[in-house]
Amino acid sequence: MNNKIKSKKTTGFMKSNYIRAFLKKYKFNYLLGVISLIVVDIAQTRVPIIVGSVIDQIESKNFHMTLISSVIIKLVSISIAIYIGRIAWRFFIFGTGRSIEKDIRNDMFLHLEKMSSRYFQDNTPGEIMAYMTNDLEAVRMVLGPGILFLIDVLAMGTITLYSMIVQIDPLLTLAGVVPLLLIAVSVRIMGRENRKRFRNKQEAFAELSKFVQEQLTGIKVIKSFVQEEKTIDAFERNVKRTYEKNMHLIKIQSLMHPFMQFISGLALAVAIGYGGYITIKQRITLGDFTAFIQYLSMLVWPMVATGMTINIFASGAASLERVESILNEPVEIKDSENLSNIDTLLGSIEVKNLNYKYPNTENQVLKNINFKIEKGQTLGIIGRTGSGKTTLVTLLLRLFDVDKNTVFINGEDLLNIPLKLLRENIGYVPQDNFLFSDTIKNNIDFGVRKGEMDKIIEAAKDSVVHENIIDFKDGYETVVGERGVVLSGGQKQRISIARALIKNPEILILDDSVSAVDTDTEEKILKHLNEKRKGKTNIIIAHRISTIQNSDKIIVLDDGKIVESGTHKELVHKKGLYHSIYEKQLLEKMLEEQK
């Protein structure tokens, strides 16, 4: 997929195997709802006959108190049946629609969690949120009101027509119904255009959501570069486009209701004209004529509902295509069919002839990478920006996949190690130090979720952030805000380190994770790592040589290749790139001390 989630063309809402599975799962709920709806429709269609018979009785002067009591009992019984039936079909049909909406939302989120990093590079959170809100709502409308309208159209229409034909007059029924058929035909034609315009409206909303999410995430940058006015202008353009697509849809929908009312009025005029004539000719009674007018009014609803049903199903089908485009997206990073039987990860790592380029690109990010570290050793990685350092460690986590027989842990091919086992045994502190909008306590405990305060505090102390935390008014219960907005860069880094340390992983990866702290704090963190992580493997990426100089092995990356490797002492003596970086940083430190 390129930049946008692409829709997979479907043949119809109810023909979707995914939707059919839910209809099968909840078939008894829908069955009870349909039975309740049919009971209501049958009860409603009895009312005109009762009213008509009362009028005939009054006209023939046979109306008496016994008949009044009987009519009242019948009408009250019908009202009770309608009342109970309407509660039942709302519960079973609308409630089931909500249940399926919940299931689909869970399926979407579960599937999204399996997606690779590349997927989220191609599709922004704003776009995905539009799919999980507006589009899912349109799908739910089909599974609730849509199914209700569909069954009601069929049941109410059939029962009403049967009553009009059998109990009143076939020719009068034909005269009244023919104009109403124009509603169903015209709405069917408009439905195709409605579906197209609805899809365009949803895509415009997705673009707007994407824009808003991106701008709010980067609000600090916008303010610091004084770009508020231009951002507002861009937002207004997006809003205008969304408005235009909405109005484009509303225009066709606004034509339908007045047209339906016009046709309904036409049908009523025909019925009154012809019905009045045959009533005068005494082919039907006055009560029958009155009942027929009521039936005709009742028949308008199925015809109108036909249009509404077509609109709902058209909109739902367009949205279902977009929802299924997420669910049908293949999972790139998954367990191999040849999984190893290992149940522990010991931390020895070997990389052999590793080459890597990101999907859909030709640029080789890593070139012929070879190194080996034993369990309990610390590997330092240094190099210029863009040299492939972060790519290398994300491959160890299988955030992206490597070729077979290139990366080994415990002597096992990385691709054959169960993903859950691999990631449970690696503690990763990324460059961006992402924190959730939650308490500090829950952010540190994120990978363990045991709520053991002594372990949380210990991890915070090891990452030298405990003193900062207790200075906050709410201490460990302080809510950090979205992406840790209330914290400084150094505090976010150290909380992220604590989140990794509390796991006590076999392999710890720090990706430039102490760059925002001063050298004294850095020394304390590294000292705690040396003390607490004896016998466990560490990989430290850094720009400062002071961060990695005590590592058992250091590799220097440049343009995706390992250009030097060895200990700090060995690399300084080689007088290569590492020595050049070392000399430069020494000079910077001396100049800083002289200030």
User: Can you tell me the distance from the alpha carbon of 91 to that of 95, in angstroms, rounded to the nearest whole number?
Assistant: 5
Q: Using the structure block, give the residue that is written with the tokens 């709802």.
A: 33
- Helix ranges, 90-169 (H): 95-114, 117-122, 125-130, 136-141, 147-167
Sign (positive/negative) of CA torsion 492, 217, 329, 26?
positive
SS3 543: coil
8 A C-beta contact, residue 351 and residue 407: yes
Write down the pLDDT at residue 168: 83
User: Can you tell me the distance from the alpha carbon of 192 to that of 246, in angstroms, rounded to the nearest whole number?
Assistant: 16
Q: Write down the pTM of the prediction.
A: 0.74
- Strand partners of residue 366: 356
CA nearest to 193, candidates 322, 321, 324, 310: 310
8 A C-beta contact, residue 548 and residue 381: yes
Write down the pLDDT at residue 10: 44
CA nearest to 126, candidates 202, 209, 34: 209
Rounded to the nearest 5°, which phi and psi values hold at 221? -65, -40
**Residue-level length of the chain:** 595
Write down the pLDDT at residue 198: 77
Write down the pLDDT at residue 1: 38
Per-residue pLDDT for the chain (595 aa), expressed as one digit of tens each?
Answer: 333 444 444 446 777 888 989 999 999 999 999 999 999 989 988 888 888 888 877 777 766 667 778 888 888 998 999 999 999 999 999 999 999 999 999 999 999 888 887 788 778 777 788 788 888 988 999 999 999 988 988 888 888 888 888 888 888 888 877 777 777 677 667 766 777 787 788 788 878 877 887 787 777 667 766 778 888 888 888 888 888 888 888 877 777 767 777 777 787 788 788 888 888 888 888 888 888 888 887 877 777 777 778 778 888 888 888 888 889 888 888 888 888 878 778 788 999 999 998 877 778 899 999 999 999 999 999 988 888 898 999 899 888 888 899 999 988 999 999 988 888 899 899 888 888 888 999 999 988 888 889 999 999 999 999 999 999 888 999 888 776 677 888 888 899 999 999 988 999 999 888 877 888 888 888 888 888 888 899 999 988 888 899 999 999 999 899 999 999 999 999 888 999 988 888 887 777 666 5
Q: What is the DSSP annotation of 36-62?
A: HHHHHHHHHHHHHHHHHHHHHHHHTT-
8 A C-beta contact, residue 440 and residue 456: no
Which H or E run contains 516? none
Set out the domains of the chain in order of their start, with CATH numbers.
17-327 (1.20.1560.10), 340-425+507-595 (3.40.50.300), 432-504 (3.40.50.300)
CA nearest to 549, candidates 575, 523, 524: 523
Residues 6+ apart with CB under 8 A from 324: 8, 10, 16, 18
Write down the pLDDT at residue 229: 84
Residues 6+ apart with CB under 8 A from 84: 36
Range 273-299 burial, b when 16+ CB lie within 10 A, else e:
ebbeebbeeeebbebbbbbbbbbbebb
